[in-house]
Each structure stands twice: as structure tokens, then as C-alpha cells.
Homo-oligomer: A and B are copies of this chain.
Amino acid sequence: MPTILGQNQYGKAENRVVKITREGDTHHIKDLNVSVALSGDLDEVHYSGSNAHVLPTDTTKNTVFAFAKEHGIESAEAFGILLARHFVDSCEPIRTARIRVEEYTWDRIATSDANSRFIGADEVQHSFVRQGQETRTAQITYDGENVEVLSGLKGLTVLNSTNSEFWGYIKDRYTTLREDYDRILATEVTSVWRHNWTGAEGVRTPNWEKSYAQSKKHMLQAFAETYSLSLQQTLYQMGARAINSRPEIDEIRFSMPNKHHFKVDLEPFGMKNEAADGAVYLAADRPYGLIEATVLRDGAEARIPFDMTNL
């Protein structure tokens, strides 16, 4: 046969699992989208169609829901680690398991209201509103020895209405852009960061929830506090701030579209439209600049695939 099989993987994608935990009348919610990808000794299912080494994707789905009940969902990362280890350790032909998770965050609905005529309204602890600011992500990979945990986020849209410039760039035959000393800088952050924890015995597991909250906070603050000469500079500051502030992180990759806000030309209508006076902008869809880069702790290995922030 003149063709051979290369890298391959399979599993059930986008299992939408919601787990409610009750502490008396106070409920907690975890809302995940879990995708399983398994690889291993799987040549035959491709060559001959023999499923003798195949754990059906339907079974991987069942496992996700059963594990949510058996073990609860402490965090996306912890849940993914449990699942990845299970598939590799319990199923002989499977050598590597990769679990990808999206997490949707819910806030409580504030029902307490001094002016409320509805008795007991302040005691409702089972009502939630989806937060919507960003989607939290995680990818856990286990190869029978080591665990690799990538945490991340996507859809986090941020904007600075000043403290952004762009000038001093290369000019060639196709250049028409004017330099700008006071522009809007806006982007929709996709970011993936790698924890240096690998599941080795005796090494303390990070507090995934706290690590996420702090990493997001540091990135947001670096975005806000950087006086920007380029979106690349802002990106680098965001990554450096996260790594410098969080010892558990060794590597972070960003995909940041430059969401252009063009100052509208109002001269034909006899109006000025200067940033300093509070300008009117057209928020453009396409095309957009797209800035992607990895920031590494000095000495750390680069392991996050370049396209991962683009999924």
C-alpha cells in the first residue's frame, strides 16, 4: 500500500455537562463543554475498520457524565485530569488522552432588595444569570506519565480609549496609513497558558480556580496600564505580567485581533472629530490586524501549538 496512516485521534466532542451541587438551599453550578480526544494503537480501525481497539465515542460521553456525578466538578482542570488519566489508565490501546473544556460562568441573581415587597426574596440562592464576559478554557493532556495543563480564555473584549499610538513603521509603495498619536486600542483576547505542574508525585497541585482568576486579573490590568506603541507591546506586557505574577505559569500564547476603530471623517459636514475632544469611531469588522505571540519564562520550553489560540 503506497499510503500510510499518520497522527490520529478520536473521541466525543462538546459534551455539555451541567452539575448542580446543593448545600442546603444554597446551590452551586458548574457548566462545562467537554471534548475528549484519544490516541494510541489505532491503526487497524483506519486500515481495516476493525473496532477491536476502539472505546466508542458514545462511551467516552457516558464517562464524562458519570464522572461528573461520581467525582463532582471541582474545576475544569481537575475534572479534565481525572478524565484523561481514566482513559489512558483503564483502556489498554489508548496511550494519550486530551481533554478540552470550555467553561461558562454564572453569577447569582441578586434578589435581596430593600424595597422589595416580595417576602423572602433575599433568600433565593438557586438563581443564576450567565456572565458572558469571556469563555474559560482548559486543555489537559496525559500520556501515561505526565500531565500537561493549559488554561485559557477566549472572547474577552477590551478597549483603551487613549494611551495608544502607532507610528515609526516601514513605508513602502503600498503604504497609505497615517501615523496616529491617540488611537483606540481594542482587541478580543484569546489566550492559553501552560502550567509547569506535570502531576509529578510530591509536587503541590495549583489551585486552578484562584490561578485562573489571578491570571485574568493580571492580564486585564496590564492591558489597562500599558501605554501602548503597538498591540504587540501590549500583548507582551500582558504575558510578562501574568508569568511574573504567577509562578505556576511558564508559557502563555495570545491571539489578539486588532479590532479597528476608525475615526470617522466628518469634514464634509463641517465638523472636526478629534480624539482629544471625544471622537466618533466606526467599529470595523473585517479586515482586522491579527497579532499572535508566545511569551515564555526564561528557560522554559515552548510547547503551546501556534494555532491553538485560533480554535
A279 to B257, CA, bound (A): 29
A169 to B38, CA, bound (A): 15
Contacts of A59 in B (CB 8 A): 170, 172, 174-177
- B233 near A49 with CB under 8 A, answer yes
Residues of B within 8 A of A15 (CB): 282, 286-287
CA distance A39 to B9 in the complex (A): 30
Q: Which residue among A14, A128, A170, A235 has the maximum number of chain B CB atoms within 10 Å of its CB? A: A170
CB nearest neighbor in B for A58: B177
A16 to B287, CA, bound (A): 7
List the B side residues contacting A213 at CB < 8 Å: none
Residues of B within 8 A of A160 (CB): 126-128
Q: Does A21 contact B (CB under 8 A)?
A: yes
Name the prevailing secondary structure of the A interface residues.
Answer: mixed
Interface membership of A240, Cβ < 8 A: yes
Is residue A55 contacting chain B, with contact meaning CB distance below 8 A? yes
Nearest neighbor of A226 in chain B, beta-carbon distance: B49
Q: Which of A101-133 contact B (CB under 8 A)?
A: 106, 109-111, 113, 116, 118, 120-121, 124, 126-133
- Identify the interface centre among A163, A264, A276: most chain B CB within 10 Å of its CB: A264
Among A57, A229, A287, find the residue whose CB has the most chain B CB atoms closer than 10 A.
A287
A69 to chain B, nearest CB (A): 5
A269 CA to B175 CA, complexed, in Å: 9
Q: Is A225's beta carbon under 8 Å from chain B?
A: yes
A261 near B18 with CB under 8 A, answer: yes
Which residue of B has the minimal Cβ distance to A45?
B232
Closest residue of B by beta carbon distance from A105 = B132
> Which A residues between 70 and 125 are near B, CB-CB below 8 angstroms?
70, 90-91, 93, 106, 109-111, 113, 116, 118, 120-121, 124
Which residue of B22, B37, B240, B298 is within 8 Å of A290 (Cβ)?
B37
Are A294 and B167 in contact, CB atoms less than 8 angstroms apart? no
CA distance A1 to B237 in the complex (A): 11
User: Does A184 count as interface, using CB distance less than 8 angstroms?
Assistant: yes
Given contacts A20-B184, A174-B63, A281-B18, contact A3 B168 (CB under 8 A): no
Asked whether, in the complex, the Cβ of A1 is within 8 Å of the Cβ of B133, the reply is no
Q: In the assembly, what is the distance between CA of A230 and CA of B50, in Å?
A: 8
Q: Which one of A62, A110, A156, A276 has the highest number of Cβ atoms from chain B below 10 Å of its Cβ?
A: A62
- For the A-B complex with A52-B168, A52-B170 known, give 5 more contacts whose Cβ atoms are closer than 8 Å: A10-B289, A14-B287, A51-B166, A68-B280, A126-B161
What are 8 A-B pairs at a CB distance below 8 A?
Answer: A1-B240, A14-B286, A18-B281, A29-B159, A48-B229, A57-B287, A62-B175, A130-B157
Listed from nearest, the 7 A-B pairs whose CB atoms lie closest are A49-B229, A6-B294, A132-B132, A127-B224, A8-B293, A49-B233, A130-B157
